[in-house]
Amino acid sequence: MRIGIIGAGRMGQALTGLFVEAGHDVVLANSRGPQSLAALTTQFGEHASAADVPGAVKGSDLVILATPWGRTAEAVSAVEDWSGVVVVDTTNNRSKPGPDGLIDIGDRISSEVVAEFMPGARLVKAFNTTPIPFLVKGLGAAAGEDNAVYMAGDDSDAKALVGALIASVGGEAVDTGDLHTGGWLQGMSGPLAGTLEMLTPTDARNRLAKALELVR
């Protein structure tokens, strides 16, 4: 796949490493322009390159959104038309780790807020419930049985594509439902967030089943 990644911080770099290792082509973009990413893309090798945000989106099979919450709206505004683009939302409404980093968005679902910034995008929530060090350790060439990755979305074809991407880096996608329900379950106030370990798919589905009882 050709994967555009908006955001070159810790999450963007972690996923770039996993995707390049799996043979995907990654195009990174940030707010400072492609020149600022030259050393980073060199580090990741020939499968990594840099562009501005529209350039990272254009021609990509899917786009990873890995921006800080407070910069997300501005970052995605650089693209005039998101219609039909499969976007993986890894963001969370927080400014830093820990309880004092949570950004209050009331009773809204964070990925639904993000979807409003990107009209027409086929948004899938994924890679957001497990801290980056545990995520990287649980996926990639050394992935073992603890490889479950939650995802949520309204578009079944988009979720199938994201599921294939997760599988390509040694993971197994566990579908939490539509963007509203699944997005809440995976979000900062939901019962699936903040797992300080990777789970087996069986354990992840068992945890999901218990969590779904809360919304019935």
Q: Are the C-beta atoms of residues 110 and 91 closer than 8 Å to each other?
A: yes
Residue 206 has a CB neighbour count (10 Å cut-off) of 12
The region, left, alpha or beta by phi > 0 then psi within -120 to 50, assigned to residue 194 is left
Q: Are the C-beta atoms of residues 10 and 30 closer than 8 Å to each other?
A: no
Full pLDDT tens readout for the chain, 216 residues = 999 999 999 999 999 999 999 999 999 999 999 999 999 999 999 999 999 999 999 999 999 999 999 999 999 999 999 999 999 999 998 877 777 787 888 889 999 999 999 999 999 999 999 999 999 999 999 899 999 999 999 999 999 999 999 999 999 999 999 999 999 999 988 899 878 889 999 999 999 999 998 776
150 strand-pairing partners: 174
Extents of the domains making up the chain: 2-215
Residue 92 has a CB neighbour count (10 Å cut-off) of 22
State pTM to two decimals.
0.95
Report the C-alpha gap between 50 and 35 in whole angstroms. 8
Q: What is the CATH topology of the domain spanning 2-215?
A: Rossmann fold (3.40.50)
Report the C-alpha gap between 128 and 126 in whole angstroms. 5
